[in-house]
Amino acid sequence: MESDHAPPLQETTATTVAGNETVSPSLEFAEPFFRLLKDKVSAYLPEADVARIEAAYRFAADAHSGQTRKSGEIYIIHPLAVASVVADWHLDPQALCAALLHDVVEDTFTSVAEIAERFGQPAAELVDSLSKLDRLKFRSNEEAQAANFYKMLLAMSTDLRVILIKLADRLHNMRTLFVMRPEKRRRIAGETLEIYAPIARRLGLDGIFQELEDLSFVNKYPWRHGVLERAVAAERNNRKRLIAQLQSGIEERLPQWGVKAEVQGREKRLYSIYIKMKERIAEARHGHGHIHPMGEKRHAFSHVYDIHGFRLIVPDVAACYLGLGALHSIYQPYPGRFKDYIAIPRENGYRSLHTTLIGPGGVLAEVQIRTREMHRIAESGVAAHWLYKDDDKNINELQQQTHAWLQSLLELQINSGGASEFLEQVKINLFPGEVFVISPKGRIFSLPSGSTPVDFAYAVHTDVGHRCVGCRINSHSMPLHTELQSGDQVEIITSAYPSPNPAWLNYVRTGRARAKIRHFLKNKQQDEAIDLGERLLNLALRPHGFTAEEISPTAWERFLRDRGVASIRDIYADIGLGNRMPVAVARRLLLAQKRVEGGTDKEKMGENAADMPRLKIHGGESGTMHLARCCQPIPGDPVVGLIRRGHGLEIHLQDCHVVARMRGHHLGRWVDADWEPDETKLFNVTIRILCRPGHNMLVRIANAISYADCNIQSAVMDQSEAAASMTLRMILLITLQVRSRQHLAQVMRRVRLVPEVVRIARVKQGG
């Protein structure tokens, strides 16, 4: 994060004595702020720890001596403010020392080793992590932003205190942002809205999250903030009497129902109203076409009725629901605005009942009902671990959820398809619109808006996701790309073996599902590449009388060392992916073997070697073997393989035009191949049918194909070719799924029996 102070200055001389401490004149200003901090920490820490924190303050004050912020105040005020926020969460002495010292490594001549020596290794490690985060620059460059954000995730996953101190640091910087240039204020405010406020929300730090959003709003959009502030003030005056009447009605009715509650009035935040206005404008545009911009703003604000609200703090969960009944008995609830976050908590641990009441004069007010413990977690989130020790069960669950969320983001970066995808998925995780779906056993799952049954399957368990082959939504069979809605009951249909489909990556919404799919496919491709690479190397060695296993360990070790490769499996994987030529690897292995043996018999070294054997093809396509689209080879066809760099083995017909054109090139990359029988696999092949139009002709052709036990993948009429053909003739191109060349021949014999069929042929060479 960008600092807002001047470079380090020379040390100043201490001249003033305060008690037993010698301080410079400028530090006299900081002493009252430190006394406030000292009072906070003395309330929950023993004297020895308070003394340690005071020593850290004196050390930081001395290190920052002579430095000032843009506002003109001495720099030590900033670490004191950060430590004060941290103290509000009752964090431990190491975190408080780190908060006071968080800038000394970055901005002074102090080293991490010196901090470790004076204040302990834990505090030094926190300062070191914070110093690294301070160097993060969030620019528009996606690669840099993704890398920096990943560093932040690593720091958070190692120790949550790092991000808590960082958020406190950002909060104080936002509170003093007014001294910056307008363009810098807008940039930092945008960064806070995009990164820090959502992290605070996801960690359950409601107070920090709301203040960061509000401060960002006034700094990024000062004009909009001012206009909205005046509009809300006017609305407040207009509805003051009605809101007071509504509150009075609530306070009178609750005791009649036996509900003891603390009623807190509140007003919706300006940024929250602004976001609601943007939603209303988007809805208006979608429903009514173009609206004049000023009309849009008036229309949007006039439809944000619930700018006032109340919070009820009650003794227990039963009182939450009893209080809800009391409210609905006196005021009508607004349809569709009730949410039960007690039965179904948010991912950040937030629990409350939400309802919107239609009060006197039609005024709307949102009411939140929660217990004292729920209120504590709503305000403090993961920091409640340090702040409250009397609700360990809920706090531990929240910590586990937070840790799992951080790990899912780290997995997402490892298995992502690039920086842009990583950042997009991070934003989905940070700004989740929620849908709630139900498993057949009645378990409720919270998923981001737009999630599919595949996302749900991976939310249940990784193994369920891997083996997912279909789904039933509300007892109806539905496609796996169906978007789930709140209240859907989802049943996943699984197979006996894991088989994630790469096409799922086109529509899964959650980072967890995307990361798990990528990880599985990556490992599967690696395993397939190793298997194919070993087979190709053995083929290259066989004419010389060797197999890979017969090469001595010493020869292998020499070969690997000379090429800087860690293991034999890595060599196999490189061959299978086409990054190394099996013939070249075989030649060098044989040379290494010869040096080890000090000479060998001629037959063994290949002078009387047999011809290069053929590669046996098992089944259909895999992660490292692909059937060429240009000629659509199927079992029974004479085929040849082309080892393509980075892609593996590509199988072509021997008479394919691509083979004829490229055979003289890519020497050493061609492999003769044969099919191994496998009746379980289906292969796509296209046939071309010239036929006369006739009544039910298409039905008869489809029946003929079906009688031959064959599936139709697609069927189209070739318009251009039909137009050029003889009068009253049409051309059909049908893609079939067959088991072999013999199976295709059976299908074509059946189709020829249809009276309207004039000619039928298999399509090769791209049609």
What residues are labeled active site? 106-107
Q: How far is CA 388 from CA 295, 367, 378, 382, 395, in A?
A: 49, 25, 12, 10, 9
Strands 639-644 and 648-653: antiparallel
Q: Pick the closest to residue 273 from 242, 333, 212, 232 (CA basis).
A: 232
The per-residue b/e assignment along 754-764, b for 16 or more CB within 10 angstroms, e otherwise, is: bebbeebebeb
**What is the helix (H) or strand (E) element at residue 321, kind and residue range?**
helix 317-330
Sequence-distant (6+) residues with CB within 8 A of 233 are none
Q: How far is CA 82 from CA 107, 196, 666, in A?
A: 16, 15, 64
Q: Can you tell me the distance from the alpha carbon of 255 to that of 422, in angstroms, rounded to the nearest whole number?
A: 52
Q: Can you tell me the distance from the alpha carbon of 82 to that of 86, in angstroms, rounded to the nearest whole number?
A: 6
Instruction: Kindly tell me the sign of the dihedral angle through the C-alpha atoms of 471, 477, 482, 486.
Output: negative
Sequence-distant (6+) residues with CB within 8 A of 678 are 618, 619, 620, 635
DSSP output for 529-545:
HHHHHHHHHHHHHGGGT
Q: Can you tell me the distance from the alpha carbon of 175 to that of 178, in angstroms, rounded to the nearest whole number?
A: 8
Q: Pick the closest to residue 216 from 235, 234, 200 (CA basis).
A: 200
Q: Can you tell me the distance from the alpha carbon of 263 to that of 368, in angstroms, rounded to the nearest whole number?
A: 10
Q: Can you tell me the distance from the alpha carbon of 701 to that of 715, in angstroms, rounded to the nearest whole number?
A: 11
How much of the chain is in helix, strand and coil states, percent to nearest 5? Answer: 55, 15, 30
Q: How far is CA 239 from CA 243, 263, 265, 327, 365, in A?
A: 6, 19, 14, 20, 11
Q: How many CB atoms lie within 10 A of CB 420?
A: 13
> In the chain, how long is the greatest CA-to-CA distance?
112
Inter-helix orientation angle 77-88/31-42, to 10°: 20
DSSP output for 561-583:
HHHT-S-HHHHHHHHHTTSS-HH
573: its two tokens = 């994987």
DSSP secondary structure code for residue 599 in this structure: S
Task: Give residue 232's Cα distance to chain centre.
Answer: 37
Q: Can you tell me the distance from the alpha carbon of 8 to that of 107, in angstroms, rounded to the nearest whole number?
A: 6
Q: Pick the closest to residue 414 from 518, 288, 331 (CA basis).
A: 518
Sequence-distant (6+) residues with CB within 8 A of 257 are 322, 323, 325, 326, 329
* End-to-end CA separation in angstroms for the chain: 59
Q: Can you tell me the distance from the alpha carbon of 236 to that of 247, in angstroms, rounded to the nearest whole number?
A: 14
Helix, coil or strand: residue 187: helix
